[in-house]
Amino acid sequence: MHPNGPFHASGFSRALVLIAGSGLMGLGMMARVLGAGPTPEAIGKLPPPASRSIDFRKDVQPILEAGCVKCHGRGKANGDWKLDTRETFLQPAESGLAVVVGDSARSHFIHLVAGTDPDSVMPQKGTKLTAEQVGILRAWVDQGLKWDPQVTFAQPPANN
């Protein structure tokens, strides 16, 4: 394995250019995010993306609810990352960008759920994702991370 884990410094430069060009991130945020990209060895460990069109509600929502929402939704942001909405899902966390839309092989989120680094696997508690589930998430990222705007994993408002 690469001495810095499954990611190396040159990996996210293309994504940073896209994000910086879109105005979503200032220079300070770019400096925090710039850091690690996946090694070829880590990419080689990934299961292939599903070869079909992915439906967010049918395919992705159940995976996120079962494996991610407990720690990264409903008002929680473990690792400074949450997935309440598509917008929060795309925000950089402590470790940098979680997702490179259109490039699942370079998405830290995918490497975490695939377990390419056995010391850093998500979810930390509970059942690990299957190769098929990771393939669905890879295809979802590769297909543009389409998210049904009616679906939120945010904390429900108080009833009072």
Burial group, residue 101, by CB count within 10 angstroms (0-12, 13-18, 19+): buried
Cα-Cα-Cα-Cα dihedral sign, residues 47, 52, 53, 58: negative
Give the pair of three-digit tokens for residue 46. Answer: 């990934």
Q: What is the pLDDT of residues 39-59, one digit of tens each?
A: 999 999 999 999 999 999 999
Give the pair of three-digit tokens for residue 21. Answer: 């060009």
DSSP class of residue 156? Answer: P
Banded model confidence at residue 73, pLDDT cuts 50, 70, 90: low
Q: What is the pLDDT of residues 4-45, one digit of tens each?
A: 445 544 444 444 434 444 444 433 333 334 445 889 999 999
Give the separation between CA 138 and CA 119, rounded to whole angstroms.
21
Looking at residue 40, what is its pLDDT? 93
Full-model pTM: 0.74
Q: Is the pLDDT of residue 123 over 60?
A: yes
Beta strands 37-38; 7-8: pairing state: antiparallel
Give the separation between CA 77 and CA 11, rounded to whole angstroms.
25
Looking at residue 60, what is its pLDDT? 93
Looking at residue 62, what is its pLDDT? 94
Give the separation between CA 31 and CA 16, rounded to whole angstroms.
10
For 65, the enclosing helix (H) or strand (E) is: helix 61-67
